[in-house]
Chain A
């Protein structure tokens, strides 16, 4: 591919994905976006395995936009796996979901989410929410240096996570300093 993916949009609703991309494009955020429709595919992408085995950990996305209600592996489990592995721990993750249930908010922050936003029904508000997230995380925020956290520089990184969703539940105990 000519450009590295800069925004990973984890969204199972085709409509929400289209409206989100449209809102980003309308606000002149032209960065390369990849949409994955469930948590398992998101993990394959982030951990460079399966159909994404040619990707490199040296080029993590600048932003993961994560829905919570996802088929197969849910959003919280994706977040947990991202934060539990040294190679993905620093990737900015913003939850963009329908729910603003207290439990989800607490779980999200406990797992080290960088920001949490509810999708508004009103399209102007929706567009504004997406614009602000895109503007800040893509244009204002300074991402960690690329490759800084690739396996070669952190030999102690756990690699067992890249083997599938079975191990996800085992990593809860390792959730510390995940919020970068």
Chain B
């Protein structure tokens, strides 16, 4: 019995020991768990904080970028407005200068003429020749001024885009050119051009200037051949005017469309050097492009596109209203 009691005692002891170690273990494990939970939470909070920080950082960076973009846009808009204002000012300045130059020129030409009429008999040949040069110079400058005014007018003019039958436009231009071709052998090849969306008055001037150039620069040919037609390039309709005249050297092609730029001596071919500048201005206003190919003594070809109606619309929007209101009495 005593043995059983001892054994029971031992078992109890062992059990108690086991219980206490298990309790201890459980307590330790609970502590660990708590630590893990606390640590995990802390980590989660940290991660959240970090994420919040990063997001915040990113947002402010984006805001800053957005602000910068907005500022740049505003700046760009301001610059554009300034530029277009300067353009209008320049245009109107050029216009009034050219306009006001006409009066003194008229007086120079007029009084030289009066001098010749009233005092001509008292002047010798050399005196008369000099007076003639003065009048000639004034008249020539008068023509230049008028051409400049015409070019400036196109810059300020609003496009009146409509569906234009180019063939009948061309027929009018050819009729107007007939007097220039009298006594000359000019062979015309006119292809069918159909119609285009453009300003008919201005487009007529394009054809008039290009064709009269073709007639003029083929003037030294016994048999002039002038061809007007259209081709396709990169899916776009390209018009061309080709002559077999004197042409020009391609190295000077950059000067071709500049104001007062001439590639031939005035003695050989009369002109103010504004015609092609006007043509280029009209084509660009339509949103089109113009270029030329030539070789000296082998004729020249002028190519141009008219552009699309969308281009016209954007160009028209660019024209500030003030431009239409410039007025010099």
Contact = CB atoms under 8 A, between A and B. Distances in A.
Interface of A: 13, 15-16, 19, 22, 68-69, 74-76, 97-99, 101, 103-104, 119-124, 126
Interface in B95-117: 99, 102-103, 105-107, 109-114
A122 B143 CA distance: 9
A76 B329 CA distance: 9
Q: Which 8 A-B pairs have the closest CB atoms?
A: A121-B142, A123-B113, A15-B107, A19-B110, A68-B329, A123-B110, A69-B329, A123-B109
Contacts of B107: 13, 15-16, 19
A9 B165 CA distance: 46
Contact of A123 (B102, B135, B145, B327): B135
Nearest to B144: A121
Nearest to B139: A122
Contacts, number: 63
A87 B145 CA distance: 41
Nearest to B138: A121
Given A13-B107, A69-B329, 13 more contacts: A15-B103, A16-B106, A16-B107, A97-B329, A98-B99, A99-B99, A103-B327, A104-B329, A121-B106, A121-B143, A121-B145, A121-B146, A126-B106
A76 B111 CA distance: 29
B133 to A, nearest CB: 15
A76 B138 CA distance: 29
Contacts of B111: 15, 19
B106 A19 contact: yes
Given A121-B138, A121-B146, A101 B109 contact: no
Nearest to A122: B139
Interface of B: 99, 102-103, 105-107, 109-114, 135, 138-139, 141-143, 145-146, 325, 327-329
A122 B142 contact: yes
A99 B328 contact: yes
Contacts of A123: 106, 109-110, 112-113, 135
Of A122, A124, A126, chain B has the most CB atoms within 10 Å of the CB of A122
